[in-house]
Amino acid sequence: MPGKGPQPTALALDAPNPLPRLRSSSTSSSPLEWIPVVSLEVQCSVEHFQDGLVDLVLQPEHSSSTILRADVLADDELDSPSGSGSEELAPFLEGYRCVRRLRRRILPNRPQFDWAMEQECLFYQRRVDPEDGADDSNETPEREGLVVLLPDFEQLRQEDPQGRLPYYHPQVHALAFRYLPSSSRSSPASLRIDLVPLPSQPAVVAPLAQSDRLFRTALVLVKFTAKLCTGHADGWQKRVHHDLLVGKEEVQDLYQKLKDKYNADIAPHSPRITFRWMLASWRESTDATKHVFEDVAIAAWLMVLWREMYAESDGRPPGGFVDVGCGNGLLVFILNAEGYNGYGFDLRARKSWSAYSPAPDLRVSSIHPPSLVASCHSDPSTSAYPPGSFLIGNHADELTPWLPLLAACTPQSAFLNIPCCLHELHGRFDRQVYTIPEAFLSALPAPPPASSPSPATDLPTHPLLHPFYAPTPLALSSTASGPSVTGGRYAAYQLYLAHLTLRCGFVPEREALRIPSTKNFGMVGRRRLYEGMGEKGEERVWEELESVLREVERRGEWRARKPEGKAGDKDH
C-alpha cells in the first residue's frame, strides 16, 4: 500500500532535463549516455540537497546494512569554473560547475563476501535561467544540484581480478543524484536519479521494469535521499552522537578483526571457543546471536579505550579488570583470551562457564555493597578491588548504581557502566524526571574552547556536552534547582547514575555504544572530579559516600535481588 505524500515516478528515456554526456574515464573517449530512472517531488532547497548528499556520501552505512563505513581519502573544494583546470579532478559536464570533489573508500560489512572500493563523489551546480516571459528580476536565480558517483574501476581490479563492483554498490558505471528546482511557483522541486550502465550490461531501456534490481535500488535511494534533504529543510538535528570517547574506525576495525578471529576454527592441539560453537551450542536460554556479537563489540570498544587510558602499561589496566555481575561470562572470556588480566563474578555459575576454552577467570561470589563501602571507609588501607582496576558493569542490574561507589573505594580505578534494568541504590528506579543539583555541575571541569563544529552535523565539541553542558538528546533544561531531564524513565536514570558518579568523585562521560541493544548507553568514570585537591578532594568524596550509605540505611537493609521464575536463567 503506497505511503502518504508524493510517490516516486519511473522516468522514460525521453524525460525532460537530460544530463549532458559523460566523458568516459577509460582509454576510449566516447561520451556515455545517461539513463533517467526515477523522480520524486520534494519540499527543500538546493542547499538542503547538498547537505543531505554530504550525509549520504559520508555515511553510506545508513542507507545499506551491507556497508560498514566510508573513509574519506580526499576532500577538495573547487571554485574554478568547469573547463578551466578542474577537469583534472572532475569530468567536464557541459553547463555544470564542479564545486567539490570527495574521494572515499567504502568498506563492506561482510568482507568474506564483498570487497572495498574507492569512488569519486563529485558535487556540481548549474544556474537555472528563468523561463521566457517570467518576471524573476527580484528573486535569486534558482540552482540545480548534481552529485555524481564514479567508481574507480582501476582500483577495483586490484581488489578483484575481474574488476567487478561489489554487491553493495549498484551495478552501474556512474550514478547521478539530481536536484531540479521548481519550474514555476505552483510546482515543487524534485529529486531524480540517472545512471550510466556498465558497458558489459545488456541494453538498458527506460523506463526500467519495477522488478529490475537497478530500479528497486534507485527507488530505495531516492526515498532515502528525500528523507535526508527534507530533514535538513525541517531543521533536523542529530539526536544521538556516537564515537565521542574513542574513534569509530579503530573500534570497527578491531571488532571486525575479532569477528574474523573467532569465526575461524584452529588446530585441535590449541582448543578455543569459536563463534561456530557459541551460536550452535549456546547453553543459555537467551538469544545467542545478540549476546555473542554484543559482547564482542563491547570488548573491542574497551580495548580501544584502554589503549588511550593505559598507554604506559601497554593498553592494559594496571590492576586488571573486574566484571561485576558477569552473567554468562562471555565478555570475560573474550578479554582473557585476548591477553587482558581480570576476572568476573556473579551470584551463581552459568551453564556456559564450564564450556569455555581456554577457561576464563569466572568466580561465584556474593557481595554486600553497603558493607564493602563502609569497611573501606573505616580502614583506608583496604580496597574493594585491586588498585588500578577497571570495573565493568555490563547490565549488572541492582549492582549498577553501586559501581561508582565501588570504584571510589578502589584506588586509581575507573569504570564502565552499561545500565539495563533500572535499579537505585535501594529498590527500583521509577522516576520520569531527574534533576542534578547545580552544586555538582559547578564542580565539573570547564570544557575546552569550542572548535566550530560542522553546521551540517552539529557535532559536540567535547564528550562532556553529553548530557551536562548544553541542550542534548536528553531534553536537558534549566530549572530553579538545576538541570533536569524529561526524556522518559531510561533518560532520567542516566542522569541519576551521572549524579551518583559525580558524588563519588568522577567526571561522568556518556557514550552511545554500537551494540545490538536498545539499552546501549555506557557511562564512563575515568577522570577524577577533584584532581589536584589531594586529601581535601578525598574528604569531599568520603563525605558523599557517608551520606549515600545513610540514605540506603534509612530505606532498610540492602539485599541482592532474588531471581523469580525463569529469571533465574537470565545471563545478564
Q: List phi, psi (to 5°) of 273.
A: -65, 135
Measured between its terminal Cα atoms, the distance across the chain in Å is 41
Q: What is the pLDDT of residue 427?
A: 87
Comparing C-alpha atoms, which of 173, 166, 149, 155 is closest to residue 221? 149
Helices 213-233 & 46-58, crossing angle to 10 degrees? 120
**Cell for 270?**
590449541
Neighbours of 276 (CB within 10 A): 12
**Cell for 437?**
543539583
pLDDT digits (tens, 9 = 90+) for 430-442: 998 888 887 887 7
pLDDT at 455 over 80: no
Neighbours of 485 (CB within 10 A): 24
**Cell for 168?**
553493495
- Sequence-distant (6+) residues with CB within 8 A of 523 are 416, 417, 418, 419, 494, 497, 498, 501, 508, 509, 510, 511
Which has more confidence, 464 or 97?
97
CATH assignment of 248-430+489-558? 3.40.50.150
* Domains of the chain, residue spans: 9-128+141-233, 248-430+489-558
pLDDT at 83 over 50: no
Comparing C-alpha atoms, which of 154, 62, 168 is closest to residue 115? 168
Q: What is the pLDDT of residue 211?
A: 87
Residues facing 128 on adjacent strands: 142
| Look-up of cell digits 573501606 | 376
Q: What is the pLDDT of residue 87?
A: 54
Q: List phi, psi (to 5°) of 551.
A: -60, -45
Average pLDDT over residues 184-200: 87
Comparing C-alpha atoms, which of 225, 338, 341, 325 is closest to residue 272? 338
Amino acid at 158: Q
- Helix (H) / strand (E) containing 294: helix 288-309
pLDDT digits (tens, 9 = 90+) for 111-142: 888 999 999 999 999 987 655 444 444 455 67
Q: List phi, psi (to 5°) of 471.
A: -55, 135
User: By the 8 A CB rule, do 208 and 13 touch?
Assistant: no
Q: Alpha-carbon distance 9 to 225, whole Å?
A: 15
User: By the 8 A CB rule, do 273 and 355 touch?
Assistant: yes
**Cell for 397?**
542490574
In the 8-state DSSP scheme, what is residue 195? E
Q: Alpha-carbon distance 45 to 50, whole Å?
A: 9
Q: Alpha-carbon distance 496 to 448, whole Å?
A: 25
Which has more confidence, 51 or 448?
51
User: By the 8 A CB rule, do 336 and 342 touch?
Assistant: yes
pLDDT at 235 over 90: no
Check whether domain 9-128+141-233 has CATH 3.30.530.20, yes or no: yes
Q: What is the pLDDT of residue 564?
A: 39
Coil vs helix vs strand at 553: helix
Q: What is the pLDDT of residue 221?
A: 96
Average pLDDT over residues 20-48: 82
In the 8-state DSSP scheme, what is residue 311? G
**Cell for 264?**
575461524
pLDDT at 458 over 50: no
Calculate the average pLDDT of the chain.
Answer: 82
Amino acid at 514: R
- Sequence-distant (6+) residues with CB within 8 A of 5 are none
Residues facing 522 on adjacent strands: 511
Q: Give me the percent of the chain exceeding a pLDDT of 70.
A: 80
Which has more confidence, 320 or 187?
320
pLDDT at 250 over 90: yes
Q: How far is CA 381 from the centre of its chain?
A: 42
